Homo-oligomer: A and B are copies of this chain.
Amino acid sequence: MNKVVANGDAAIEGIIDGMTLMLGGFGLCGIPENCISSLVKKGTTNLTCISNNAGVDDFGLGLLLQERQIKKMISSYVGENDEFERQMLSGELEVDLIPQGSLAERCRAGGAGIPAFFTPAGYGTEVAEGKEVREFNGKPHILESALTADFAIVKAWKGDRFGNLIFKGTARNFNPVMAMAGKITIAEVEELVEPGELNPNQIHTPGIFVQRIFQGVDYEKRIEQRTTLSKN
């Protein structure tokens, strides 16, 4: 059950041009910084990236956008990234925008063997185009399909050699559902411990969903909007 790999470079082995990746995080919170760096270094291109956001110009997925490694983004919100907007409006980058709740649920469905489900979100909007509409309890819903990925890359706070993960604060976000939906799931963690050190009752992502794990280094954990109150 030992799933430990050395580092980000080793973790992303097997990711090749044209693959579909899921990357956890909300904004810059809870993103797999080490694996993103390794992907930039490796130069893999034509990637389809499923991630709630696209980072900022010089951090997170923005780094892969800068290098033109991403062919298509599947996200719910892509503001706060000028390069993204430029590539999108110019048509260089394909973009599939999905309601955030549908994105989360579609990832979970992909991991849970639910090929499709009905949701009210997006009915009557361009999101519903080409999708089946059905009424339940007098309310129209659209049929959304599961999402899966060749690799899911998530970031956790603590993890053990078996791949059990615990997240911290709102850095949890999409990470647990994406961990479920990867054909291969890579977890980078701030602290890697031995099996038995994490309380079984407090594990957010059971190790069964994780195939590779490593302790990341040099986390910047950049804050997008530093909002504070003065103590005076």
CB-CB nearest in chain B for A141: B115
Cα of A44 to Cα of B157 in the assembled complex, Å: 48
State whether B115 touches A105 (Cβ < 8 A).
no
Query: Which of A3-11, A75-83, A116-124 is the contact stretch?
Result: A116-124
**Assembly stoichiometry (copies):** 2
State whether B120 touches A118 (Cβ < 8 A).
no
Instruction: Known contacts A169-B201, A202-B202; decide if A136 and B120 are in contact (CB<8 Å).
Output: no
State whether A119 touches B113 (Cβ < 8 A).
yes
Cα of A134 to Cα of B119 in the assembled complex, Å: 18
CB-CB nearest in chain B for A157: B201
Cα of A117 to Cα of B141 in the assembled complex, Å: 12
Main secondary structure of the interface of A (DSSP, over half): mixed
User: Which chain B residues border A134 with CB–CB below 8 Å?
Assistant: 116
CB-CB nearest in chain B for A139: B115
Does A137 have its Cβ within 8 Å of any Cβ on chain B?
yes
Does A109 have its Cβ within 8 Å of any Cβ on chain B?
yes
User: Which chain B residues border A112 with CB–CB below 8 Å?
Assistant: 105
CB-CB nearest in chain B for A112: B105
Cα of A202 to Cα of B168 in the assembled complex, Å: 10
A121 to chain B, nearest CB (A): 9
Sample of 11 further A-B pairs with CB below 8 A, known A109-B117, A116-B118, A168-B201: A113-B119, A113-B120, A114-B117, A114-B119, A115-B136, A116-B117, A116-B136, A117-B118, A136-B145, A169-B201, A202-B202
Interface set of A (CB-CB < 8 Å, partner B): 105, 109, 112-120, 134, 136-137, 141, 145, 166-169, 201-202
Q: What are 17 A-B contacts defined by CB distance under 8 Å?
A: A105-B112, A105-B114, A109-B117, A113-B119, A114-B117, A114-B118, A114-B119, A115-B118, A115-B137, A116-B117, A116-B136, A117-B117, A117-B118, A136-B145, A166-B201, A169-B201, A201-B202
